[in-house]
Structure 1
Amino acid sequence: MTASWLATTAPAQGTNLAFGGLRADTSQPVEVTADALDVDQEDGTAIFTGNVVVGQGEMRLTATEVLVVYKPDRSGIDRLVATGKVVLVNGPDAAEAEKADYTIDSGIVIMTGDVLLSQGPNALSGEQLNVDLATGTARMTGRVRTIFMPENGSPEEDG
């Protein structure tokens, strides 16, 4: 008898997948909470540090530090750059990485550095995960590894 679980390594061109089971409303306000905030009026940045939580609708992003980059005309936030134990959660899916760069207007989050995506009992890992929150889709690239679990939730052993 063979094991009913499957571990594969996909080619470097990438793997397309659903992310979050639902689309995130990228037009909703972005809320950031943290232990501390430092603002630099000259370069138009703000740095949130310590237990940072970013929320926008159903989407949650947590990290050790989040750099907020404002638009050149200071009319709003252009990007959020999260570093240190980054976790992005949207609906039932969660992704972990060393860094995430979220462009607010486009709803695109680019996660890099030991990326791990969990979707229920299944997991995917790779070098980069591009998440489109507006469409609820993602693309994992760079030496992608996938583990699929059987319906009963545990791999069968050879007997």
Structure 2
Amino acid sequence: MAKTSLPIVGLAALLGVAVLAGPQPVQAQTSESRMTGLALSGDEPIQIESDLLQINEETSQATFTGNVRVLQGDTVLQAGEMIVHYAKNGGSVASGAADIREIDLFKKVLIRSGTQTATADTGNFNMANEVLVLSGEKVVLTDAENVFIGCKLTVQMQNGQAKLDSCGRRVMIQLDPKSRSKQ
């Protein structure tokens, strides 16, 4: 199947990976912190590649399947499948003018920006609420040598507030003291 490359206005809000600022209690069932690396960036072009693109104007969905790769600046998103839900009256996906409402990610999600990487089984970005949720058996967020592991990462993009849930287990955080900023 041929690769499909298509810019979609508004998808930039999904892109970006976060850094947890400062240590959190390792014993906690849930960890909350500020995520400073997550940013809404609408000023850089977006390139989307996949093995297949299916646009269904009746259901207002664009489904990218097979080796999905989204690039914007130095940020990369990869997944096995990405479904973009857009408003019926928001324009055409093919023209790049769709009013995107929600993005679902499936089949091993990876988001990388600079030294930051997040991996999960699935992801969802609600554009109206500006909430990003990554979930799965093991959600891993890394920044250089610092590692944060849980099962569900929820980021309120408007204020950078983040919550890492353990889903009945324990949140694990491994911090490298050399990564702390010098003051």
Separation in 2 of the partners of 1:56 and 1:135?
22
Are 1:85 and 2:102 matched, yes or no? no
Q: Specify the structure having the higher radius of gyration (Cα).
A: 1
Aligned to 1:122: 146
Counterpart of 2:86 in structure 1 is 70
Q: Which amino acid aligns with 1:144?
A: V
Structure 1 residues 4-32: Cα deviation after superposition (integer angstroms, max 9, x where no partner): xx9x6342242214342x63325666542
Instruction: Give the C-alpha shift of residue 87 in structure 1.
Output: 0.7
After TM superposition, list the pairs within 5 Å mapping 1:101-112 onto structure 2. Answer: 101-112=124-135
- Identity score, percent: 26
Does structure 2 conserve the Cα–Cα contact (< 8 Å) formed by 1:85 and 1:96?
A: yes
Aligned residue runs from structure 1 range 1-159, under 5 A? 9-20=26-37, 23-26=39-42, 30-75=46-91, 76-113=99-136, 114-133=138-157, 135=159, 138-142=162-166, 143-151=170-178
Cα distance in 2 for residues equivalent to 1:137 and 1:93: 17
Give the CA RMSD over aligned residues.
2.8
Gaps of 5+ in 1: 1-5, 153-159
What is the Cα deviation at residue 124 of structure 1?
0.4
Letter in 2 for 1:60: V
Q: What stretches of structure 2 of length at least 5 have no aligned partner?
A: 1-22, 92-98
C-alpha deviation, 1:117, in angstroms = 0.2
Question: Scaled by the length of structure 1, what TM-score is found?
Answer: 0.74
For these two proteins, the number of residue pairs brought into alignment is: 145
